[in-house]
A and B are shown apart, each in its own frame.
Chain A
Amino acid sequence: MALGFFSRLKEGLSRSTQKLTQGLGAVFTRRKLDDAALEELEELLIGADLGTAVAARVIASFRRTRFGKEVTDTEIKSALAEEIAAILAPVARPLVIDPALKPHVVLVVGVNGTGKTTTIGKLAKTYQEQGLRPMLVAGDTFRAAAVEQLQVWGQRTGAPVASAPANSDAAGLAFDALARARAEDIDVLLVDTAGRLHNKAALMEELRKIIRVLKKQDPTAPHSVLLVLDATTGQNALQQVNVFKDMVDVTGLVVTKLDGSARGGIVVALAEEFAIPVHAVGVGEQAGDLRPFDPQEFARGLVGA
């Protein structure tokens, strides 16, 4: 299991690095690090979704220490990995469930289609394996069949699912679910929400309502607010995090779909900009495909070192 764990993560991440790695190899096999080379390197980073500002900063640091030197492919990769891991290290913090809270309320938010429901299913499985008792709340009462989707995850993991009829008030459902969880001695309450674009004020207000209502029973709830972010998202992720953080005090990120060709370089920009913890990464559609966020692994995977 432990072996499969790392090889699987590595497999997932290495796919996402293929192109960047190839590009780096082509540019930096034994070559003088001059302006042209630096510019190409900067473009490679931009192509990995690090964004123009972060890419420029990394390049500036390279210019200071390595300008004019003969460098090899390997040197560049490990140096780049170091640079990126240093940015990511402070935000790599796992989501710690406090069993004393009974339940620890986790609100899961994000724009449409990032993988909130799938992530909740995976989280439920993780907690189950840790011997905790999770309960799922089908708070996406808007999208067609979202409730059924979560119920399938409930069956797969054996976790109870609190649901309400379509189009009913998600806040009311969350309130009832919290009461039920307290009565049933649940350890973790995972609250799913409908996907919403961060620029829709009314929908963001709905999220705040869910939080207000939860606080009526437990003033410290929700104890965690997870923003689920799709790794294929470009620079708009900065905007997403910014608004969700302002509106609902996001406490951590889960980055999904890292098993694709997207490199998820935006995570580096997010770490620099907001310093919000990155709890986990999603590398597949199965229940076991949620991994802790390891900055070394991620950075090495990103540059192919």
Chain B
Amino acid sequence: MFEALSSKLSGVFDRLRTRGALNETDVMEALREVRLALLDADVALPVVRDFIAKVRDRAIGQEVIGSVSPGQQVVKIVNDVMIEALGGAGAEPLNLVAVPPVPILMVGLQGSGKTTTSGKLAMRLAKRDRKKVLLASLDTQRPAAQLQLQQLAERAGVASLPIVPGQTPLQIAARAMETARREVYDVVILDTAGRLSIDEALMDEVRQIRAATNPAETLLVVDAMTGQDAVNTAKAFNDAVGVTGIVLTRMDGDARGGAALSMRAITGAPIKLTGSGEKLDALEDFHPERVAGRILGMGDVVGLVEKASEVIDQEEAEKLARKMAKGTFDLDDFANQLKQITKMGSLSSILGMLPGAGKLKAQLGDANIDPKLLGRQAAIISSMTMKERRAPDIIKASRKKRIAAGAGVTVQDVNRLLKQFDDMSTMMKRMNKLGQKGLMRQGLGALMPQGRRPY
């Protein structure tokens, strides 16, 4: 029911792959599925239409018919069109080329994450780009919104404009620019109140703020979970204030982010940044090729590696890798690995980043993996003796009973863990045989023992 776009598409393409040659009917059938999948991923209808038309034009004809592997060719075309539609390869940087203080205007609907994003952006500009940043909240609507930005500024270690109660947003904007000029700031981030695209009075207000401050960047902040309304929002804000860039927030959720495609298509403005967490450093450049890959079931391997490198102890990981290569990986290392995985977040979010894992996730059942599973497994391993951990083969019935009692689980749980460890050892042997390239090409599926629920 809740299949992600990637798993739907991989289902379609699995069928394509199994056929020898592709004709127009095949392409059309696949594209019908692609259309449904895109709609279920919240890509807006008009955008889906354009997308499908583009893929069809390219797919039917020379490029597919007569090529050696038609299925893969279609996959490639869909992927190419997706990357193009998301803005081509590579990240688009913020434009700060202007006479300082450079104003950045943040706009968007209520609750899209403008204030949090403003805080993140301030920290990024201050820490990474060595800019002197002033944060100013023009949100006089929501209770304590100005206080929220002030507190975020403190956490980010940047300055914020002192709060003067009773001032209008336009007055605050003028005061912010004045202060910034006087105190020689490089960048002023103007965080505005959330407003509905149909609220004429408030849209007019933001128009005036824009006219008064002439921002170098007007960033539209959009929730990645947004549905079909993305079209209206994008159009209204673009018409009113001329959006120069999009920030996609809540990318750490499990929405496939179809809104990204819609927003980009409607405004023509590049998606510049993505927010993926509540911490102030959770702001990243937008990489179209990675998001396209994630949507199409090719996984966000680069993102996964980056995430892993952030939290995983480098030395520890290298030690594990050496052991894996040598085939001396034991249960102690397994326990260690479990600990590292837990640090990376929930299993389902990690799975979502792996190639071909969409289907796997569906098998695991509604992405709701028992969060305690890893902890229980660690407990089982802790209940083993050192000798057992190094040579799990010696664990027979009576040892199993003792371990189960020690960890507070059943003997079946112990069996399952041992089986899993066994599978993993087999997997590693296969992995060594496949090599890095084979893994990328065939995806995670190639490593999984067939017909069994993986843990």
Contact = CB atoms under 8 A, between A and B. Distances in A.
Interface of A: 15, 19, 43, 46-49, 51-52, 111-115, 118, 121, 142-146, 148-149, 151-153, 197-202, 204-205, 230, 232-239, 242-243, 246, 257, 259-263, 265-266, 273, 285
B112 interface: yes
Contacts of A113: 110-113, 223
B41 interface: yes
B155 interface: yes
B188 to A, nearest CB: 20
Given A152-B144, A197-B253, A257-B109, A51 B40 contact: yes
Contacts of B142: 118, 149, 285
A19 B232 contact: yes
B198 interface: yes
Contacts of A46: 39, 45, 228
B232 to A, nearest CB: 4
Given A51-B40, A234-B226, A236-B254, 13 more contacts: A47-B228, A112-B113, A113-B223, A144-B148, A201-B369, A205-B371, A232-B109, A232-B233, A234-B42, A260-B196, A261-B236, A262-B227, A263-B228
23 contacts: A46-B228, A112-B278, A113-B110, A115-B110, A118-B142, A144-B147, A144-B148, A144-B155, A145-B151, A149-B142, A149-B144, A199-B252, A201-B371, A230-B225, A232-B109, A234-B230, A235-B42, A236-B42, A236-B225, A237-B225, A238-B2, A261-B196, A261-B197
B167 interface: no
Nearest to B374: A201
Nearest to B346: A201
Contact of B368 (A15, A121, A243): A243
B143 A149 contact: yes
A224 B148 CA distance: 29
Nearest to B44: A47
Interface residues on B, range: 35 or more
Contact of B148 (A118, A149, A235): A149
Given A113-B110, A142-B278, A239 B2 contact: yes
A233 B111 CA distance: 11
A238 B39 CA distance: 14
Contacts of B2: 238-239, 242
A197 B250 contact: yes
A145 B225 contact: no
A202 B198 CA distance: 38
Contact of A114 (B111, B151, B232): B111
B152 interface: yes
Interface in B335-349: 345-349
Interface string B87-121: 00000000000000000000001111100100100
B258 interface: yes
Nearest to B36: A52
A49 B148 contact: no
Contacts of A233: 223, 225-227
B225 A234 contact: yes
B259 interface: yes
A259 B195 CA distance: 11
The residue among A114, A118, A285 with the most chain B CB atoms within 10 A of its own CB is A285
A72 to B, nearest CB: 24
B379 interface: no
Contact of A111 (B119, B149, B250): B250
Contact of B252 (A197, A257, A261): A197
Contacts of B369: 201
A232 B45 contact: no
Contacts of A49: 227-229
A51 B227 CA distance: 10
A112 B36 contact: no
Contacts of B227: 49, 232-235, 237, 262, 266
What 3 A-B pairs come out closest when comparing CB atoms? A234-B227, A113-B111, A234-B42
Interface string B211-247: 0000000000001011111101100100000000000
Contact of B229 (A146, A152, A202, A232): A232
A257 B116 CA distance: 20
A200 B42 contact: no
A199 B112 contact: no
Contacts of B152: 144
A48 B148 contact: no
Given A48-B228, A115-B110, A233-B227, A145 B253 contact: no
A3 B16 CA distance: 60
A201 B258 CA distance: 24
A22 to B, nearest CB: 12
A234 B258 contact: yes
A235 to B, nearest CB: 5
A232 B119 CA distance: 24
Given A144-B148, A199-B254, A239-B2, A260 B225 contact: no
B143 A153 contact: yes
A242 B227 CA distance: 17
Interface string B122-164: 0000000000000000000111110111111001000000000
B256 to A, nearest CB: 8
